[in-house]
Amino acid sequence: MQNDSGKTISIWMTTAEIPEQPVLTENTHADVCIIGAGIAGMSTAYMLTRAGKSVVVLDDGPIAGGQTARTTAHVSNVLSYRYYELEQMHGKEGAKLVAQSHTTAINTIEAIATQENINCDFKRLDGYLFPPDLKSIDEIQHELEAAHRVGLTNVEMVKKAPLTSFDTGVCLRFPQQGQFDPLKYLAGLAEAIERRGGRIYTGTHVEKIQGGLPARVETSSGKVVTADAVVVATNSPISNLATMHFKQAPYITFVIGAKVPRGSVPKALYWDTLDPYHYVRLQSIDEQYDVLIVGGEDHKTGQADDADARYARLQTWTRERFPIAQEVLFRWSGQVMNSDDGIAYIGKNPFDEENVYIVTGDTGIGMTHGTIAGILLTDLILGRNNSWAELYEPSRVRIAGVGDFISENLNVAAQYLEWVTPGDVDSVEKVAPGTGAVVRRGLTKVAAYRDENGTLHEHSAICTHLNCIVAWNSSEKTWDCPCHGSRFDTQGKVINGPAINGLAPVENK
């Protein structure tokens, strides 16, 4: 995360006492091994330990160190797709289950926070969905009717959102939405998991996952976890070479946090219906000020490097509608995995052993999708029936989503043309300190980064997942794969799957 000057600051808006976790130092066994300590992995671990299962959680970073720390933490049953679109893709009964599952997830987060006494600032509040201009109300009317059909009968059309700074025009009010501090929540989950005997190991990189009885999870240190079941909750699954990555697409989304006088903007969740849409909420920071958190301006991962322009457009959008907004205190980007049909993939990993499970494709609604994963995967592992299982089945094929499937995969195919294009610069001498660039070297390409001291670091520019050429992300200082969303730091270390291995180092010449 960065502030207006570009200086790196702590992730998210509040500090949370997330306990330090040890590195895995010996072989061990558990009923279930969970890979990933974000909202999905930790929710699943919590629910399994409550059910009496022994659980080991592995993550190569800290708890909540991945995309969970980069969320705006809307806890909502309002998805990125409208309910009338979800009806077209999943049928009327399927859309009802979507609404039911996300509503259950909101209730579950609130119940866990209460039962475990987790002070995570959970708050119930209204959500408002409004069109981009006062004339575009047809979509709002269609969505109201669809929301009622799927069982959200308390949704109502109102003349405007409760804002004095601008007139949203006719919009929909979705009551009983929620917001919270995700880091405080995961800190509480970690304590509850360990209290029930669960073990959490961070700084532990997984290199290989093998299903079967027992399943084996091998780490880069050579230590092994065996388990009766494995859950891969790594945002984008590292246990699946290609199947799931053809069914979802990685997008970078951008967020700013602007200071506003406390109480000057009514606390609620706000969304417009643009594509990509904007999403807004507030977070208290002290007795005088709130932070107005505004997100949007998405682009395909690795296919643009214009973050400053996107942050600037977010600021313009914000100040036109919230002129009371003051300086921008925070700004950051995160990666979301957009599924072809608007909802996550949760269940058994396709073409794998029966005891390997995945959760991915949260499509920007990670807090509730991650909680749904905790409920559903626990039921699947325990052999209990769950009415959501078929809806979220990872191997599902929806005819209504075929258009997105084709367009996204054509886009991926086009990225392989980067193999035959020139580099960003023709010489590493043109790579300035603190920047990176892809340089052609013979038949291959090199990812060249020069640190602030002027030292050059060269790695292969070939993503270790499916051999796409990575692109430099100057805002986050990462190498991003434009095909399936793998991301690597300046030293080539993998920081986001589906790649498991880092970029190969190249000997400097």
Look at residue 39 in the predicted model and tell me its pLDDT.
97
CATH topology of domain 28-71+183-246+342-406: FAD/NAD(P)-binding domain (3.50.50)
| Strand 248-261 versus strand 328-339 pairing type | antiparallel
Look at residue 135 in the predicted model and tell me its pLDDT.
67
Look at residue 17 in the predicted model and tell me its pLDDT.
74
* Contact in structure between 271 and 279 (CB atoms under 8 Å): yes
Widest distance between CA atoms in the chain: 67
Look at residue 399 in the predicted model and tell me its pLDDT.
64
Rounded Cα–Cα distance for residues 305 and 310 (Å):
10
* Contact in structure between 93 and 388 (CB atoms under 8 Å): no
Element holding 439 (H helix, E strand)? strand 435-441
Handedness of CA 291, 294, 300, 306 (dihedral sign): negative
Element holding 102 (H helix, E strand)? helix 83-115
Rounded Cα–Cα distance for residues 443 and 445 (Å):
7
In the chain, the N- to C-terminal Cα span, in Å, equals 34
Q: Which own/partner contact pairs does 408-416 have at CB distance under 8 Å and 24+ positions apart?
A: 408/248, 408/249, 408/340, 409/246, 411/249, 411/300, 412/246, 412/249, 412/468, 412/483, 412/484, 415/302, 415/303, 415/468, 415/469, 415/482, 415/483, 416/468, 416/483
Residue range(s) occupied by CATH 3.50.50.60 in the chain:
28-71+183-246+342-406
Element holding 108 (H helix, E strand)? helix 83-115
Print pLDDT tens along the chain (509 aa). 333 333 333 445 666 678 789 999 999 999 999 999 999 999 999 999 999 999 999 999 999 888 888 999 999 999 999 999 999 999 999 999 999 999 999 999 999 999 999 999 999 999 999 998 766 788 999 999 999 999 999 999 999 999 999 999 999 999 999 999 999 999 999 999 999 999 999 999 999 999 999 999 999 999 999 999 999 999 999 987 778 988 999 999 999 999 999 999 999 999 999 888 899 999 988 889 999 999 999 999 999 999 999 999 999 999 999 999 999 999 999 999 999 999 999 999 999 999 999 999 999 999 999 999 999 999 999 999 999 999 999 999 866 656 666 777 678 778 877 887 898 999 999 999 999 999 999 999 999 999 999 999 999 999 999 999 999 999 999 999 999 999 999 999 999 999 999 999 997 55
> Which one, of 438, 409, 406, 444, lies nearest residue 424 by Cα?
438
Element holding 28 (H helix, E strand)? strand 28-35
Instruction: Return the HEC string of 369-433.
Output: HHHHHHHHHHHHHHCCCCCCHHHHCCCCCCHHHHHHHHHHHHHHHHHHHHHHCCCCECCHHHCCC
Residue 332 is given by DSSP the state E
Residue 393's alpha-carbon distances to 89, 156, 244, 344, 485, in angstroms, are 14, 32, 11, 9, 22
What is the chain's Cα-based Rg? 22
Residue 492 is given by DSSP the state S
* Contact in structure between 24 and 59 (CB atoms under 8 Å): no
User: What is the side-by-side order of every strand in the sheet holding 471-473?
Assistant: 471-473, 478-480, 487-488, 494-496
Residue range(s) occupied by CATH 2.102.10.10 in the chain:
421-496
Look at residue 398 in the predicted model and tell me its pLDDT.
67
CATH topology of domain 421-496: Rieske Iron-sulfur Protein (2.102.10)
Single-letter residue type at 439 = V
Q: Which two tokens stand for residue 432?
A: 């300035």
Indicate the angle between helix axes 39-50 and 182-195, nearest 10 degrees. 30
Rounded Cα–Cα distance for residues 367 and 443 (Å):
44
